[in-house]
Structures are given as structure tokens and as C-alpha cells.
Chain A
């Protein structure tokens, strides 16, 4: 576990500088650490949080997410005993399923999609006010949570070193006595290697979240909307097990 001041010391050590370096101030290195934290979370999607949002009756577009949102991961209602689960799709899928979806209101909308990068659209509005429970992937709240020397990045300890690598690269880019691009690139390469590990960690984490929210890590679109009989197939032609079995990770227990 590294605090911001410890990460700063690590950056200075990486550059083999004195404890108080001449070319870089502490404020400046803090900037680079903030950028490292933000960029690492953006590249990996490693930071996710829970978010509850009231939704009005008839509301198709939801835009009151935190500004730090990268993308929504999963959603369900907190609505008494009946939980409505919503699945993420691309907006064009919603439009193809129902070209008149903007007029639809239902008790249980089944799909949501990103709409631009800060808004979300539902495939049908709720026919009553509900509270939606979201799991969203975000960038860090730098001003609120990474603003002092004792602050600790909210990512697993093993990836803290990646922040120091990125910040070291940024220090070397400074054009004071001439930037040292070769050294900077070497540290960025180191950062990328560590980011790749973080992406693997994130995948497992997101699968776990989906499993908790949806009871399966890779929920199927047809499974999500089948209940609404949007294709008019109803019970006559339920999706077959063998059909799903061809897609790894769809059936519970099959490898993703």
C-alpha cells in the first residue's frame, strides 16, 4: 500500500535524484501522479462503484450520473421484492428491436444502452417511479480522495507501482534542460506492462459483479428480453440449450 508521498519518493528514486530534486517540484510530481491514477483507471476500468438513482415514470434518458463515469456495468431496480434486471446493449440494438421504443412504457424494461458517454437510455421507460441500482466504472475522484500526501489510490496494491512508472515517464518529458524522450518511453513501456495485468484483474472483477447482479457473468441479450416476447416467439420457440452452448460462457458453468 502506497500513499501519495511514498509514490512521489518512488518517482524520485526512479530518476536517481536527490530527495528534493532540482528540476521537479513536489506539486509537479503530484500532478503527474494524479494523471497516472486517472489514466490508469481509464485504460483498465479497474475502479467501479455503486450508484443509486431515482428514475421518474416515463423517463427514457438518464443523465444524472457522476461526471467521472466511464461506462455503466450493470443495473437493477430496488423495488420491493420484484427486482427488474436491465442489460447493457448498443443503442442501435434497442432501436432494431422496437423502432417505436421512445413511446414505450413498461413495468419491467429489460435493456439499457450508453447514449453518448455520460448518459444512458432505457429501451422502455418505467411505468412508475423507481430507484435504479447501478454498478458503474469510473475514473477516480482526484479532488476528493487523492488530494493529500496520505491519500492512497483505491486500486489494488500490486498496481500502485504502475502509477510511479507513469509519473516517472512524465517527469522525463519535461522540457527544462531538454526532455529525455528515450527514458520517458522506457517508463511508459513499464507502465503499459503493469496496466495489462490490471486489465486481467479488472475482467475477473467485472465478471464477479455481473454474476452478483445478474446471477451469471455473461448474461445473454435474449435471456434479458425473452420475457417480453418482443419477437413474437413467446413460449413457442424458446432459445435452445444447444444453441447457447455454442457460445462459451453463456451457460452457467461453461468457461468464458
Chain B
């Protein structure tokens, strides 16, 4: 659905003249649509995204990604690290605020809404994967293995002869990505079709923080824009706008209708939230605990079972 579909419906139901409105101006409709979109996404968390970032030595707190409404999960060096509460940290380590070491969990307790803190504080700054700069001057067909970043010496270029002679890439090594490409510990490939020589290598520190988050919707600005919520729930924005316009003071103020549309909006919002929380058929969730698997699901990263009290704790939202 596009924005135009919604605006048409709003004017049809409200009964104002779109070209010469008495009360409901189009700019106001767009403002309300954007308000509704933020509210819907904030509560329902229907669209997720992920990015990778680095950690900085001795830095405990980090910002969310720019386009994040909130975090869902963090993975440090590919390993899942759980969200915890301040209570849990206090019970585990009195000096958790200053403790340095390997990162094992994170918290949002006591922080601004768009920040999170790591426990323990990283000792070393991590960096993005190695970036090779390749001299593309054609050379003898040496090949690079994809299993690790060694160099295969194979003068005739036959790929089935494997002989790793150099497990650390160095300036001057020859590379070819014709068949294998360069794989740096599973992170990055270089797909230069021509043979070449490595001319420089960045610092080889490759531990990254993988962040999953709920994505902030792009604002609606023109009528041909796609609505960034699933088709089935796009009408929720119409209900939101009508709720707000009937609620405001004016000739058409109608608290009964405002209440009706508010109810419709809330029902749709809740329905979207439930769907986003458990997007797969529910029978599986019912069966899993019965078969000895962990009880699940954890709907949000902000929920956890407190190991001290055994209670489910909901963190900041």
C-alpha cells in the first residue's frame, strides 16, 4: 500500500474536501500519519535490522545504531550475550561498573533510553576486518585458499593442488580471487577477478559486536511512498489519524467516534505486536517446553529471568 491509499480513505471517511479543506489539511494528515507510524513501530517492533560495530578499549557505554528504536539482541564475536539487570550485576560483581575483561552481557539499566552498557568493559579496541589493498598487475597464478588466509603456491594454477605456505598475509604476497577469493576468518571476501599482489594490510583485529534492533521507520513525505508496515496493518494508521482528528477541538469534534477509532487502532497495534513477537505458528511454542526444550520464547531482549529471585524482569523500554 502507498500513502495515497491511506490519505484517500481518511478524506472519504472524514468527509472533508481534500482540495479545499475546511478543517483537515493534508500537511496535518501527514504529521499524524508519521506520529502513528512511530507509535506503531515503537510498540509492535515489526521490522528488524542488524549492523556490526566495534568496541573501544575502556569504554563501557555505547549508543544504539542511528536508526534504532530499541535493541533486541547483541552478539559479541558471533556469540549471543544476554541482557541483564543492574540487580544481577550487583549480585555477581560489586565492581561491575569498572571491571574490565571479556564481554559477557549487557544492560540498559540506569542509562539514557538509547544507550547500553557492556559488562565487562573491553580491554582492547576491536576493528573491522582486514582490508586488503590489491595490486591488480597480472602475475603468476598463485592462489589464495578460502579456508584461511594462506597463500597457495601452485604455479600452474590448478585449483586442486593445495599447498599453504603462508598462513599470515603479508605485503608482497600474491593473491588471486579467480576461484577462491580471500576469506578472512569468515568475515570478508575480496572478489577481484584479476591476480594481484597484496600491497597493504590493515590491523588484523576482527572481533565485532553484532547488534539486532527494531528499525525506526522513514518518515512519510509523499503520496507514492510505500507504507513501511505490513499491508494487513496499514489501515491502523487511518484509525490513528481519525482518532486524533475527531479528538481535537473544532466543529467536528466527536468523542464517541474518537473513542471508537482509538479502540480500532489499539486492536490493530496489539494484533501487529503479537504477530511480530511470535511470527511463526504457535503450535511449536507450545510443544517446545513439553519436550524438554527451554521455555520460550523470550519476546524481547529487555526481558530476562533474574537468577537471584527467579522472577522475570522487564528492563527499561
Contacts and interface: CB of A to CB of B under 8 A. Distances in A.
Given A72-B280, A206-B281, A222 B210 contact: no
Contacts of A174: 12-13, 15
A71 B279 contact: yes
Interface stretch (A6-14, A37-45, A149-157): A37-45
Contact of B230 (A99, A103, A113, A118): A118
Contacts of A144: none
B91 interface: no
Contact of B231 (A68, A97, A175): A68
Given A71-B279, A103-B78, A114-B280, A92 B298 contact: yes
B297 A91 contact: yes
Sorting the interface of chain A by its residue count into under 10, 10 to 19, 20 to 34 or 35 or more gives 35 or more
Contacts of B48: 115-116, 119
B250 interface: no
Interface stretch (B107-115, B122-130, B168-176, B283-291): B283-291
B257 interface: yes
A89 interface: yes
A161 interface: no
B14 A175 contact: yes
A218 B252 contact: no
Sorting the interface of chain B by its residue count into under 10, 10 to 19, 20 to 34 or 35 or more gives 35 or more
A92 B75 CA distance: 13
Chain A interface, DSSP helix/strand/loop, else mixed: mixed
Interface string B258-283: 00100000000001100110111101
B279 A114 contact: yes
A176 B15 contact: yes
Contacts of A97: 293
B287 A221 contact: yes
Contacts of B14: 175
Interface of A: 28, 31, 35, 38-39, 41-43, 61, 67-73, 87-93, 95-97, 99-100, 102-103, 112-119, 139, 173-176, 179, 181, 206, 218, 220-222, 239, 243-244, 246-247, 249-250
Interface of B: 8-9, 12-15, 45-50, 73, 75, 78-80, 186, 210, 214-215, 226, 230-233, 235, 252, 256-257, 260, 271-272, 275-276, 278-281, 283-285, 287-288, 290-294, 296-298
Given A71-B280, A247-B291, 8 more contacts: A42-B233, A61-B50, A69-B230, A89-B296, A90-B297, A175-B14, A221-B284, A249-B283
